[in-house]
């Protein structure tokens, strides 16, 4: 087990005082805040950090980044947290170097995986579903870590070469059908686990955006331009450009990042926006650049709900506000109202299952105390008596839920509560 960092011990002691009049919130915050450190974090022999998801032994590039993000505000003055986060970033860069199209990796080259998919596999790969956000998360984590701590140790030659590799891949995937080598099919399980059209996905037009095979839910995209993930890519590229300019003094890398960022943003704003008859100008969840839109949102982050959290647009942006009203209504096919809760779910789980990740994200993007209070109470009342967050739960009966050990969801809840503490709202 990882020894508890001093900064975390101090925060938990602070919570004992600030949340003393809310015993259940205190209990859940403390349990969820340390869950990643206590249960899913391993320091490997080479000094890197392997962070697995919980009830699945593999490390997702996305989940592992999200599982430690709530520790960033404590890292500036805590050498142990610095070592763990920098170790995770080095492990992530190592995995991207093995295969930038893979989304999840094994602790060792042991050929463990969910299925033997029809794609290029090697013993390190747990799953090879190409998801744009899988490459965004490590880049953004490194940027946020730098901003919180001022430390640049992770920005070595490997990071710079990985950034170049990701830019090259995203540029290739701007023209997926003409240039991409990526193919994927799974011959077992639901159709959402495989790409149609001879493993390539459905046709797309050039837009400037970069193509994604799968969503952050690990479900196949309906249309290849996943808007929230492209937003996240634009934000991540802005961070790369800043690192390139300020740390590396590499004008060429900065220019490459900014060029691709501008092209992606143009694509989002030109092809990723539609006019809804009730909600006005909103962002689509997906498009193909051929005039087709998928109007929905999914609980997994990046999502349309998470736009301000990602840093793409502020919470008061008009198009975001319209989009938020749309996705938090029955117009979104994955928004559910039940006897116990209301919120966003996912086609990845059962009908009318709301996700705690979506409730925590709604809490962090809310702009009024009434909504915040409602969401916080909803989160506390839907843990099914476990003291932890889950994946999805039945909107009418929270005792019916998926994934009792899901560290990403615990971390996001802890981040949301810590933000309220820092803002003086608790």
DSSP codes, 239-280: HHHHHIIIII--HHHHHHHHHHHHHHHHHHHHHSEEEETTTE
For residue 2, what pLDDT is reported? 85
CATH topology for the 6-422 domain:
Glycosyltransferase (1.50.10)
pLDDT at residue 402 greater than cutoff 80: yes
Which of 307, 287, 284 lies closest to 297, judged by CA? 284
Residue 338 · residue 354 · CB < 8 Å:
yes
Task: Name 225's bridge partners.
Answer: 287
> Residue ranges of the domains in the chain?
6-422
127-158: pLDDT as tens digits: 999 999 999 999 999 999 999 999 999 999 99
304-342: pLDDT as tens digits: 999 999 999 999 999 999 999 999 999 999 999 999 999
325 DSSP assignment: H
């Amino acid at each position: 087990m990882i020894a508890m960092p001093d900064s975390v011990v101090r925060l938990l002691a602070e919570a004992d005082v600030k949340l003393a009049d809310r015993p259940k919130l205190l209990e859940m915050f403390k349990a969820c805040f340390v869950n990643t450190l206590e249960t899913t974090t391993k320091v490997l022999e080479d000094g890197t950090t392997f962070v697995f998801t919980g009830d699945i032994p593999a490390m997702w590039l996305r989940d592992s980044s999200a599982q430690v993000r709530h520790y960033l505000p404590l890292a500036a003055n805590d050498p142990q947290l610095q070592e763990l986060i920098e170790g995770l970033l080095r492990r992530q860069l190592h995995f991207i170097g093995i295969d930038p199209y893979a989304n999840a990796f094994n602790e060792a080259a042991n050929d463990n995986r969910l299925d033997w998919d029809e794609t290029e596999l090697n013993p390190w790969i747990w799953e090879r579903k190409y998801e744009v956000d899988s490459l965004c998360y490590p880049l953004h984590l490194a940027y946020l870590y730098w901003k919180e701590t001022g430390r640049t140790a992770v920005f070595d030659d490997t990071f710079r070469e990985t950034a170049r590799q990701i830019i090259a891949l995203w540029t290739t995937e701007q023209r997926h059908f003409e240039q991409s080598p990526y193919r994927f099919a799974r011959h077992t399980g639901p159709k959402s686990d495989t790409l149609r059209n001879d493993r390539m996905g459905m046709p797309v037009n050039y837009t400037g955006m970069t193509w994604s095979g799968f969503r952050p839910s690990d479900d196949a995209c309906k249309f290849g331009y996943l808007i929230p993930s492209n937003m996240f890519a634009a934000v991540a590229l802005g961070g790369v450009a800043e690192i390139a300019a300020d740390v590396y003094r590499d004008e060429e890398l900065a220019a490459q990042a900014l060029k691709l960022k501008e092209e992606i943003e143009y694509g989002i704003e030109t092809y990723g926006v539609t006019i809804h008859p009730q909600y006005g100008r909103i962002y689509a969840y997906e498009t193909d650049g051929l005039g087709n839109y998928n109007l929905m949102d999914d609980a997994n982050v990046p999502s349309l709900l998470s736009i301000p959290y990602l840093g793409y647009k502020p919470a008061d942006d008009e198009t975001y506000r319209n989009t938020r009203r749309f996705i938090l209504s029955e117009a979104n096919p994955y928004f559910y109202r039940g006897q116990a809760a209301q919120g966003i779910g996912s086609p990845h789980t059962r009908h009318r299952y709301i996700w705690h990740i979506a409730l925590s994200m709604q809490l962090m993007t809310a702009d009024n105390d009434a909504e915040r209070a409602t969401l916080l109470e909803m989160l506390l009342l839907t843990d099914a008596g476990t003291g932890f967050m889950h994946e999805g739960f039945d909107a009418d009966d929270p005792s019916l839920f998926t994934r009792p050990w899901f560290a990403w969801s615990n971390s996001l809840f802890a981040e949301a509560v810590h933000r309220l503490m820092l803002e003086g709202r608790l």
